[in-house]
Amino acid sequence: MNMQHCNLLCLPENYQMKYYFYHGLSWPQLSYVAEDEDGKIVGYVLAKMEEDPEDQVPHGHITSLAVKRSHRRLGLAQKLMDQASRAMVECFDAQYVSLHVRKSNRAALHLYTNTLKFSISEIEPKYYADGEDAYAMRRVLKDFKDKSTKDTPSVKAIKDTPGKKDKSKKDGDTSKEKTDTTNKETRES
C-alpha cells in the first residue's frame, strides 16, 4: 500500500493494488523499495520479466520507478534500478531490461541515458492514456552478468581445493564475509 502511495505522489501513471500484488507474487525477487529512517517508503522499482518475449531473448521490464521529491538526487533511483537489474541477471539470466518513458519527462530521460546507460530503441506513438508518445528504452545487462560471475566466489571450490585448509572452520562462521561482500557490492552500485 505504501508503494501505491509513493506512486500516486510521484507519477501520472497510477496502478491498482492488484497490479502490485501481481508483480510481487510473480517476480518477488525483482521489485525493491527504499525506506527512510522511519521505515516509510520513499522510492520503489516495480519490475518483471517479459513472459513471452517476441525476440525469444530473456529480458526484464521496469514497470515503474519512483522516488519522492524529498529524496531525489541521493542515488536511490540508481540503486533501485541496479538491484532490480542484478536480480534479473542472477535469477532469470536476463540479457537486457526495457522500460518506457514519456517523451516530455526530461529528468527521467537524463537519468536513464546518462546515469543508467539506457538507449532509445524506438518511439511508441500515443503510448500513454493521455496520448503522449513514449520512448522505448533498453539497457544491456552484460556488465551485471560479468560482475555476478567475477564477484561471486565459489565456496565449494575453495573448500574442495586439494591441499587448502578449510578457512571457514578455522576462522569461524563465513556468513559475515558473505554479508560484507553483498553490502560492498550494493555500495559500489
Place of cell 503522449: 132
* Domain residue ranges in the chain: 2-152, 153-189
* Best CA proximity match to 95, nearest among 131, 133, 129, 146: 146
Segment 45-61 shows an average pLDDT of 87
Buried b (16+ CB within 10 A) or exposed e, 80-102: bbbbbbbbbbeebebbbbbbbbb
Distance CA 96, CA 186 (A): 20
Q: Who has greater pLDDT, 46 or 181?
A: 46
15 — alpha (psi -120 to 50), left (phi > 0) or beta?
beta
Q: Give CA–CA dist 98/92, Å, rounded.
A: 15
* Mean of pLDDT values over 157-169: 39
Provide the pLDDT confidence category of residue 182 given band limits of 50, 70 and 90: very low
pLDDT band at 15 (very low <50, low <70, confident <90, very high): low
Q: Give the range among 15-29, 87-101, 116-130, 145-159 with minimum mean pLDDT.
A: 145-159
pLDDT at 177: 35
What is the pLDDT, as a whole number, of residue 188?
38
pLDDT, average across residues 4-30: 65
* Whether 120 contacts 102, CB under 8 Å: no
Structure-model confidence comparison of residues 159 and 70, the more confident one:
70
**pLDDT greater than 70 at residue 46:** yes
Q: Which residues of 32-58 are buried (b: 16+ CB within 10 A; e: fewer)?
A: bbbeeeeeebbbbbbbbbbeeeeeeeb
Most confident of 56-65, 148-157, 165-174: 56-65
pLDDT in tens, 96-122: 999 999 999 998 999 999 999 999 999
Range 2-152 has CATH code 3.30.365.10 = no
Tracing cell 554479508 back to the chain, one arrives at 179
